[in-house]
Amino acid sequence: MFSLFLNTKQIFLFQAFNLKNYKYKVILFISASGGLGTALGMKFKVIVTNLKPVILKAFVSYSQTPTASNMVKYLQQQEAIDIDLELFNNYQFSVDQLMELAGLSCASAIGKSYSELQLQNKSILICCGPGNNGGDGLVCARHLKLFEYNPVVYYPKKTDKDLYKRLVNQCILMNIPITECLPNKSQLNREFGLIVDAIFGFSFKPPIREAFVPVIDLMKDTSLPIASIDIPSGWDVEAGATEDGMKPEMLISLTAPKKCAEFFKGKYHYLGGRFVPPTLQEKYKLNLPKYHGTECCVLLN
């Protein structure tokens, strides 16, 4: 038996001769589902077993198509702020309009990567902050409920703004529990299969406010997978995590990834928020990847 490892951006073709009287088996492992067309630009491994001596030729060429993560621009904090302002002021989007699209993107990404079976039918704890990132979390909770998951919202610091009151009321009317009581580590592991981090967004500046220190510490200490919305809470928006920062398994960047996403080492990096007008994409040279069909999120890694 022998193995061939081909690096990223390679296409492979194998041609074997004199196989008429030989038993052979070729196993192809690809890092994503689908045929060869979906494997382009991805790392894969070929193992050939039970093959008696034959002539095996490998022809390797290079794809000119970069991977999605190589294409996308990673935004500095001020760039992210400026793009948001243009969406609101020039393109006349409302906050709740973008929040709805962002929250749906996040729920869709979670649904693609974590089945109910993987979560062992446990609940999803959605930790929401007081700002727009928390609003994305509340919308995400509602859509996860519609996707037949069991979301529970931890919301320690509510705001008096009408938008957030409406989002909370929508969750309540859909029988989504909302609590100000943070579960302890034992309860967390027993009752939940996933944590959604929707506390701080790209406007975050340290230090972490006192009300959110316990939940950040709990997320640092847990072995449960964490899905962070846009920015892993507590990370510097450009410089990334501190040494003891949380390490989410999933990051769902919104609009475009922020600079801190370059330091993300988790399993799933999605881009969501399919609402950026082409003219705005061109102005900031965002190089956003192509979304598939009617999808509202796309996997970058």
Q: Convert the pLDDT of each residue in 170-185 to its tens digit.
A: 999 999 999 999 999 9
Q: Is 204 annotated as a binding residue?
A: yes
What is the extent of the structural domain holding 180? 68-299
The total domain count for the chain is 2
Task: Say if residue 233 carries a ligand binding annotation.
Answer: yes
Residue 134 marked as a ligand binder:
yes
Report the candidate in 276, 264, 275 with the shortest Cα–Cα distance to residue 300.
264
pLDDT for the residue 5: 40
The two structure tokens encoding residue 95: 């906050």
CA 288 to chain centroid: 15
Tell whether 40 and 102 lie within a shared domain: no
Q: Are residues 73 and 58 in the same domain?
A: no
Helix (H, G, I), strand (E, B) or coil at 29: strand
Q: What is the pTM of this model?
A: 0.77
| DSSP code, position 294 | T
Are 120 and 153 part of one and the same domain? yes
Q: 135 a known binding residue?
A: yes
User: Last residue of some domain: 29, 46, 62?
Assistant: 62
pLDDT (tens digit, 9 = 90+) per residue, 104-132?
999 999 999 999 888 988 999 999 999 99
- Same domain? 57 vs 73: no
Task: Using 70 as the pLDDT threshold, list the residues of the chain that sit under it.
Answer: 1-70
Q: What single-letter amino acid sits at 222? A: T
Cβ atoms within 10 Å of 272's Cβ, excluding its own:
27
Tell whether 266 and 126 lie within a shared domain: yes
Of 258, 261, 239, which Cα lies nearest the Cα of 79?
Answer: 258
Q: Is 264 annotated as a binding residue?
A: no
Which of residues 62, 88, 104 is at a domain's end? 62
207 is in an annotated binding site: yes
My answer on whether 57 and 177 are in the same domain is: no
**C-alpha torsion sign, points 275, 153, 251, 41:** negative
Residues with Cβ within 8 Å of 36's Cβ and at least 6 positions away in sequence, in order, are 11
Prior bond of 207 cis (ω within 30°) = yes
E strands, 118-216, are 123-128, 151-154, 178-179, 192-198
The span from the CA of 207 to the CA of 190, in Å, is 31
Q: Do 74 and 29 reside in the same domain of the chain?
A: no
* Final residue of a structural domain among 39, 62, 85: 62
Check: CB of residue 228 under 8 Å from CB of residue 129: no
The verdict on 35 and 146 lying in the same domain is: no
